[in-house]
Amino acid sequence: MKIRVSWLVLGVSLAVVAACSSQKEEAPVQEQLTLHEVMKDEVDVHADDLWDISNPALSDNAHLDAALMDDERWAQVEQKATALQQAALKLASLDPIVVVKPGVKIADEGVPYGDTGAEVQANVDKDPQKLRDFANALAVHAGDIASAAQRRDTERAGLLIGQLDAVCEDCHLEYWYPSQKVLLEEYGISR
Ligand code: HEC
């Protein structure tokens, strides 16, 4: 009889331990970043840095002028392009893709043809995989800039940096302000 009681007690305490440890596992690991946060704090920042560094050395015909590129500037281009590549990969890995936290406003909402966060979320939910494909395309493009910088390839680096904006726009037109795409098509402007 005495033995049975202690088994019962042991059983209960084991159950408590089990409950506690399973509770720990269920605790939220880390709050997931929103698309807006990755875009604003990482993708845009690194791209702006990259443009700031390369623009002074960019000639009219979108070539980098070798005479204006020294080792330090090349190293910075490589570093910023690599950071941009990482940010793009982070964007591609978001799952699920949450555009904004409740109450957060995105740029240009409220201006004509500017979508709200909720509208962007609806655009994303229609085809999240395609957004990841665009993000991966940006990662590849940024990675190519980094390797061109490593090779000190002025032609290729200049060309790719000149094309970077269009890689951003491809995704923006699908997901951020698709109504502008319709507008561009109406005016017969093809990209
Ligand atoms: C894979 C898709 C995708 C790519 C690629 C992309 N963006 Fe975005 N971007 C978005 C979406 C969706 C929004 C709208 C949500 C928002 O504003 O946060 C956005 C919004 C922005 C905003 C406004 C942020 C704000 O304050 O609301 C900036 C600035 C921006 N992008 C810069 C860039 C630049 C620069 C690049 C290229 C180097 C780029 N984006 C590439 C999807 C993308």
- Domains contained in the chain, number: 1
Q: Which tokens belong to 185?
A: 């098509």
| Cβ of 177 less than 6 Å from ligand 1 | no
For residues 149 and 74, the answer to whether their CB atoms sit within 8 Å is yes
Adjacent-strand bridge partners of 64: 58
| Cβ of 168 less than 6 Å from ligand 1 | yes
Let me know if residue 12 belongs to a domain: no
Query: Burial letters for 169-184: b for 16+ Cβ neighbours within 10 Å, e otherwise?
Result: eebebbbbbbebeeee
pLDDT of the chain along its 191 residues, tens only? 444 544 445 444 545 555 555 555 555 556 789 999 999 999 999 999 999 999 999 887 778 899 999 999 999 999 999 999 999 999 999 999 999 999 899 998 877 778 899 999 999 999 999 999 999 999 999 999 999 999 999 999 999 999 999 999 999 999 999 988 777 788 887 65
Q: Ligand 1 mean position to 189 CA, how many Å? A: 22
Return the CATH number at 177.
Answer: 1.20.120.10
Q: Looking at 94-177, list the stretches that DSSP marks H as alpha helix, in order from N- to C-terminal side.
A: 117-126, 128-150, 154-171
Let me know if residue 42 belongs to a domain: yes
* 43, 54, 160, best to mutate for ligand 1 pocket (most atoms within 8 Å of CB): 43
Domain encompassing residue 144: 32-186
Let me know if residue 57 belongs to a domain: yes
